[in-house]
Amino acid sequence: MSDGPLWLDAFPRTWEAAHERSVRGRTGNVVYYPGARRDGGSDGVWLRVLPAGGEPWTGVFSSDNRPGRLNVVASWPDPEQVFVAAGGAPYLVRADDPDAWSRIDRPSVRRFEPVGGLALLLDDDVLSAYDREGLAWESDALGPAVHWLGILDDEVHLRAGDVLHRVDLRHGRTISEPASW
């Protein structure tokens, strides 16, 4: 990749990381995702991870690199996990165990927002909220034309054409109504 992903220090974390291209001479494990393979894989986002009290490793996260999709490395509500989105379904990997990984089933994710202990992911279908335990809630269907407007009080406001969607941050209840502007 010519440009590395955006870095978002969204939540407290127990690990350090750097884009591999800024680190001279790799040492230790090189792990390719998906699969947590040590024998090679697809090129993508190279990330050097240094877990607290553990051995450093380099993750190579296969990149779909689709325009308009999220391209970010971020901390996650679980301080042991690294979030990596490379233009497709995002990866979650434990910093202290590169074999403990998963993909979030959101291949069209295009926005990441940290709000009050929640990681909000907006994709072409819904707004999803994740906490330390995993998926906390999902909004009703929003559709691919929805745009993020912002947060007001305890709601996320989104707009799709002439429809305003208000999503409650506590439980994801979605109210859709005609936009008045």
Dump pLDDT digits (tens) for 129-157: 999 999 999 999 998 899 999 999 999 99
| Res 5 pLDDT > 90 | no
pLDDT band for position 179 (cuts 50, 70, 90): confident
Per-residue pLDDT averaged across 2-27, rounded?
73
Any domain includes 169: no
pLDDT digits (tens, 9 = 90+) for 70-101: 889 999 999 999 999 988 899 999 999 999 99
Any domain includes 149: no
Segments forming the whole domain that contains residue 55:
6-104
Q: Give pairs for 140-144: CB < 8 Å, separation 24+.
A: 140/165, 140/174, 140/176, 142/174, 144/108
Q: Which of 46-50, 51-55, 65-69, 158-162 has the weakest average pLDDT? A: 65-69
Number of structural domains found in the chain: 1
Instruction: Using alpha carbons, select from 31, 24, 72, 25 the residue that is nearest to residue 51.
Output: 31
CB 173 within 8 A of CB 167: yes
Instruction: Write the secondary structure of 138-161 as one string of H (helix), E (strand) and C (coil).
Output: ECCCCCCCCEEEEEECCEEEEEEC
Any domain includes 60: yes
Determine the Cα–Cα distance for residues 143 and 103; give it in Å rounded to an integer. Answer: 22
Any domain includes 147: no
Determine the Cα–Cα distance for residues 88 and 57; give it in Å rounded to an integer. Answer: 23
Any domain includes 76: yes
Any domain includes 152: no
pLDDT digits (tens, 9 = 90+) for 106-124: 989 999 999 999 999 999 9
**pTM for this prediction:** 0.89
pLDDT band for position 23 (cuts 50, 70, 90): very low
Residue-by-residue DSSP string for 45-80 = EEEEEEETTS--EEEEEE----TTS-EEEEE-SSTT
Per-residue pLDDT averaged across 48-54, rounded?
91
CB neighbour list of residue 168: distance below 8 Å, 6 or more residues apart: 154, 155, 174, 175
